[in-house]
Amino acid sequence: MSAPSRYWLSSALRRHTRGATTTITGFCLLAVAGLDFSPIAQSFLLLGGVVVVGFPHGAFDHLVARPVLAQRFGPFWWLLFGTGYFGLAALVWIAWTVAPAVTLAGFLAASVLHFGLGDVEDGLAPETVPRVVAILAHGGLPILMPIAVHPQACAPLLAALAKVPVPAMLDALAVAAWWTPAWIAAFTWVLLANLKQRRTAAERLASIAAFVLLPPVLAFGLYFTLGHSVRHVLRLGAWHDPRDPAAAARWLLSVMLPAGGLCLVGVSGLVLLGGDMTLDVLTPCFRVIAVLTLPHMVVTSWLGSSDQTYVVPMRPAGLEPATERL
């Protein structure tokens, strides 16, 4: 018998894949039809997705870590978690201040790893392809492809993050683009090996089209929110309650709504107080995302590779204790 979370998670992931593919394809068709997505529209679509699911999908880290840490360290688990989590975040913030260009390079490399690991955990790694190849292939899609296809559009935001002139960033992106052929070969290998999973292949192809046809900010927003973040939230819901999707949804909303509200306040403040959308709004938003990415990666990677088994809370009455890995 399959794992308990598969009682509703597998079907939810299939529906999500169809919905994400349809939505991304719709945006691509609008671009082909000649619709011009203004920079303001791109930014608000990205920021809207970040508020609704992008930021909230990381708000569960302490809840996921609690069963393991509380078992080992008792009622003071939160002190250890908070010190480590926010300590790592503070280090990244200091790094942005001291060495923004180096930190940007590290953030992009970490993003490849994080996105790739997420997609592989979602079953997008065929058995015939080495795991490391699948991770780099999937993780490189939202990072390398926009750099290779739209360097002129990517350069201003990346230059603002790195605090370097735009021409210097364009030179750096030209060097980074040399990795593109190797990534294309790896991604093609993974995609061909995954053709039997038609829905998965369709979503990958739609994402490729998005990064070619759409502005990079919008394409990244669709990938980060509709793809990476929503799948992570679905897995969290199944970890919490594998047999009752309605109970899982209520638990997810109880965490996501306050987190989304907090994010909305912060983003609204940046929009109201800022002048330039790239410099005053998107740049600090991406820095905050980068600050939170490292501890989020540590939590998800550590728990994903741990030998611990996590007891699913709030299981329906009468059922045996269900166990599942995140």
Q: Tell me: the pLDDT tens digits for 211-261?
A: 999 999 999 999 999 999 999 999 999 989 999 999 999 999 999 999 999
> Which residue, chain included where needed, has tokens 């502005």?
215
Triad 283, 287, 290: Cα angle to 5°:
140
d(CA 46, CA 8): 29
Contact 147, 154 (CB under 8 A): yes
Is-contact 85 61, C-beta < 8 A?
yes
Q: What does the buried/exposed string (b/e) look like for 248-265 if buried means 16 or more CB atoms within 10 Å of the residue's CB?
A: beebbeebbeebbeebbe
Q: Would you put residue 163 in left (φ > 0), alpha (ψ -120 to 50) or beta?
A: left
**Closest by Cα among 226, 252, 254, 256 to 239:** 252
**Domain extent listing, the chain:** 48-306
For residue 60, the Cα-to-chain-centroid distance in whole angstroms is 14
- What average pLDDT does the chain have? 85
- Tens of pLDDT along 50-109? 999 999 999 999 998 888 888 888 888 999 999 999 999 999 999 999 999 999 999 999
Does position 318 have pLDDT exceeding 60, yes or no?
Answer: no
**Band of pLDDT at residue 311, cut at 50, 70 and 90:** very low
Tokens of 16: 């999500």
pLDDT of residue 304: 57
Residue 243 tokens, joined: 């047999």
122-134 pLDDT, tens digit each: 666 667 788 889 8
